[in-house]
Each structure stands twice: as C-alpha cells, then as structure tokens.
Amino acid sequence: MKIVFMGTSNFAVPSLEKLIKSDHDIVAIVTQPDRPRGRGKKLEPTPVKSTALLYNLPVLQPERIKQVEAIESVKNYQPDLIVVVAYGQIIPIDLLEYPKLGCINVHASLLPKYRGAAPIQRAIMAGEKTTGITTMFMDEGLDTGDIIMQLPVTIEPTMDYGELEQVMAKQGAKLLIDTIANLASGSLPRRKQDESKSTYAKMLTKEEEKIQWSNNALDIINKIRALSPTPGAYTSYKGTKIKVFKALEKNKNKNGVIGEVLEITENGFIVQCQDGTIEVIEVQKEGKKRISSKEFLRGFKLHSGDVLGD
C-alpha cells in the first residue's frame, strides 16, 4: 500500500515511526514549513520532518496545502491512502477524494467530543477523567468524518498535557496500525458521528494562560496541568511574570484575600483561591529556567501576605 503521511507535531511522530516499520510503502511526508524558534529565531524543522529525514523519506513543506501546486505535488506520488496526524492545516476536498482508499485521521479525543485543535488540553482543563483516540475517515468538515475505531485513555489526576500527549501519541500509533490492517483486509467498520454530542476544542488563547486566582482551586490546578509544559499558565508579582507548571490542591481554607500567599512551605508556597488553596510546586521566572518553587524562593523575595496577580 502506497501511503502519504501528513503530520507536524510530536504527537504525530510515533504514528509515522510505526508506519515506517510496517510493510507499507511510505512514499512521501507532508509537514509544515520550518519555523523560527528560540531566542535566536533560528529556523527549525518540525518533529515529523526530523523523523522523516532520519529514514531518507521525501519531504514536502507547502506553506498552504490548498494551493494547486501543493495538491498536485502530493498527487504525483499516487498514494492509495493518505494518513493525517496533527498536520495543522485543513485538507482540501480535491486531495481528500484522490486516494482510492481515502484519507484517514488520528484524532486525540473520543469523537464527537473535543473536535478541533486542542483536544488534549481542553479535556484536562475541563477536569475529564477519561479521553481517548479516534481514527476516522476525513471529510470537508472539522473532525466530522465517519468514526472507524476508538480507544479510551485514562487521564491520571496529576497528569499534565505533556505526559498525556506522550501516552496518547503511542496509543494513537497502535490504533492507526490496527485501522490500516482492517482497511487492507476490507473489514473496516465505520459509523456516523452523533452531532448532538459534539463539542469543540478551540485553540488556546494568550488570555487563557493567565491564572485567575478568583477561580476555584481545582479549576486552577486543571489549567496549570493543561498548559504544562507549554505554553505554561502564569501569574505575576510586582510586574514580574511567573509561570506555574505544577501545583497541588491543599484545603478549603477561605481566610485569605484572593491571590494572597498564605504560607511559605518546605516545597513551595500556598495561595488563596476562591474556594480553597493550592500549593505551587514548580515555577519559572520570566527569562529563566523552570525550577522548583523551593529553589525559586531562595532568590525571589516572596512572603506571606503578598498578593499575586497584579
């Protein structure tokens, strides 16, 4: 089977590696263009491109996959199947309808819940205890195609976005191989999505990264988990931006002012929220590296009674 793989992020890498090690012919990789990253703004390849180059696979990096030239460049490889995993652009119908076996997608939720760009983060932020992987046939809609296979994944209470993404990426790769095996044998199940149960996982905004200490403690904890390790939820003190990567819910104490540092502890510091308190365990001062709160407090003057979130 001749396959074109379309993907960009770390989430897509295990799926690509599984396909490369399978009996199928991976004829080309389509990924996003190299982008400037880091302080030096040096152009860096996507994780999928880096993986593809290790295996000497042809790589296409169109700025917009909807352009005629981009569509034709993919068609030139005459794929039987196109596999899409966290690619980052909407695939045009002309390309979706080209392969004789269609286009299949690995999506990081149990569709129709959490359609869209940020299903893992949104599931954590909402306090979900279970999410999952879906393989589906792609259509013109946004994650609206027929479901092929699904696999539930447990979200552990302390698991953050990075940790959950790694687990789901590996599970997604396994489900993809099973899906393609069923497709090759002609025994592939498919069912329509229940539109009445659909929800949308929109992209995260810069405004959402800010911790609102007036929210409930559990909601704040879930936001911190959903935004860790990147981009990071943040608060501020006297104009200094402080990212928070790990925190624990402590108790239902309501004696402090919202955002007040109530206590400096052995492991960090306790902050008052709407319905209780949380202990901040790992942080990053703007422009510095991520460290434990204990280490942070050695060099940053934060005391009981100080109020965060100016």
Cβ atoms of 309 and 257 closer than 8 Å: no
The encoded tokens of residue 12 equal 């897509």
Classify 294 as helix, strand or coil: helix
Q: Please indicate if the annotation marks 111 as binding a ligand.
A: yes
Q: Please indicate if the annotation marks 47 as binding a ligand.
A: no
Residues 6+ positions from 207 with CB-CB distance below 8 Å: none
Closest CA to 102 of 133, 68, 137: 137
Q: Please indicate if the annotation marks 79 as binding a ligand.
A: no
Closest CA to 294 of 261, 272, 266, 260: 266
Give me the phi and psi of 277, to 5 degrees please: -135, 160
Q: How far from 208 is each of 35, 227, 274, 301, 303, CA to CA, in Å?
A: 24, 10, 17, 27, 26
Q: Please indicate if the annotation marks 81 as binding a ligand.
A: no
Cβ atoms of 268 and 280 closer than 8 Å: yes
Cβ atoms of 143 and 90 closer than 8 Å: no
Residues 6+ positions from 156 with CB-CB distance below 8 Å: none
- Residues of the binding site for (6S)-5,6,7,8-tetrahydrofolate: 109-112
The binding site comprises 109-112
